[in-house]
Amino acid sequence: MANSNFVDYVKICCRSGKGGAGSKHFHRDRLTSKGGPDGGDGGRGGHIILRGTNNEWTLLHLKYRKHVIAKPGFPGSSSRSFGKEGEDEYLDVPLGTIAKDAETGEVICEISEIGQEVILVKGGRGGLGNAHFKSATNQNPQYAQPGEDGGEYWMILELKVLADVGLVGFPNAGKSTLLSVVSAAKPEIADYPFTTLVPNLGIVAYRETKSFVMADIPGIIEGAHKGKGIGHRFLRHIERNALLLFMVPIDAKNIKEEYEILLNELSEFNSELLNKDRLLAITKSDMLDDELIEETKKDLPEGIETIFISSVAGMGITELKDMLWAKIN
């Protein structure tokens, strides 16, 4: 990959701590030679906890951490003293991270807030001390519970980029150029397919102190929902965008057909994406004069608001920001 610092998928083994053993101690002091049971409970094992943070923006810090192991709990002791709990292991992840069971594919949780904590794997319970087992018929229980084993599971963590506006289009539709013009982001731009290999985020300043986040999603091709091209790898990032800005260049063979292919790819991947608000931007429109633009309008897709823009010439950029802001709010 061109930018190996962007990691949005990791598979790790999570093992929580074993619970501490209960104590089978009997009370003894200088005045008591044969006291009753006073063994304390063992402490629980450490949890594996997923925690949302704004200090990370990818899963790079977890890429080479294949095993995450929490500490075991401490055993109980005399005088009904509880054992100390095992230290929890925290996995700090960016917002938009989803945790799945690697074996079943079941989604366990999604981290959407800073400071949000979710226990991925619970630590084992501590064993009960022998004080719990004293009864009228058993005054001196000679046993206590061992600590419960911790859990061990393979987990998949996937990151979905969170943005207000997601740019959707075939390679070379002008997505990266637009992002570089309206924000301070500096995505790689070149005249060949799949220049963008990782999602790029940019903060778009809008009228005084307002702003919104725009994401340049790597180019889709026909058949992407089946894994062709970059395929599923980045289609999932579109799910986290509030508004979709479809981009089709003015020199496309058939603007309406290209838009419908893009729409179909999203629908095949996740039909719920069709419920999102969307706009259509016809890019590179500085190539045509006003008369040809009016002629082109006759063949545009129906049911979607459309604007003609040119990122290089600055054509329609202010109007586009106004439309995006209105849709977002």
- Per domain, the residue ranges of the chain are 1-159, 163-328
Sequential pLDDT tens for the chain (329 residues): 344 567 888 999 999 999 999 999 998 888 877 888 999 999 999 999 999 998 888 898 998 889 999 999 999 999 999 999 999 999 999 988 999 999 999 999 999 899 999 999 999 999 999 999 999 889 889 999 999 999 999 999 998 877 889 888 888 788 888 988 888 766 454 444 444 456 777 888 888 888 888 888 775 656 544 444 444 556 777 777 889 999 999 988 889 999 998 888 888 888 888 888 999 999 999 888 888 888 888 888 888 999 999 988 999 999 999 999 999 88
Our CA dihedral for 202, 203, 206, 208, rounded to 10 degrees, sits at -140
Pairing mode, if any, of strands 9-15 and 152-159?
A: antiparallel
Q: How much is the pLDDT for 223?
A: 53
**What CATH number is given for 163-328 in this structure?**
3.40.50.300
DSSP line for 37-52: B-PPPPPPPPPEEEEE
Count of H-run helices and E-run strands, the chain: 5, 14
Say if CB 152 and CB 46 are below 8 A apart. no
From edge to edge, which strands make up the β-sheet containing 277-283? Answer: 200-206, 210-216, 163-168, 241-249, 277-283, 305-308
Query: In the prediction, which pLDDT does 53 show?
Result: 92
Distance CA 143, CA 176 (A): 68
Single out the residue of 94, 229, 116, 243 nearest to residue 171, CA to CA.
229
The arrangement of secondary structure in 1-159, i.e. its CATH architecture, is Distorted Sandwich (2.70)
Task: Tell me what pLDDT residue 172 has.
Answer: 77
Q: What is the dihedral of CA 164, 169, 172, 174, to 10 degrees?
A: -40
> Which amino acid makes up residue 104?
T
Question: So what's the pLDDT on residue 118?
Answer: 97
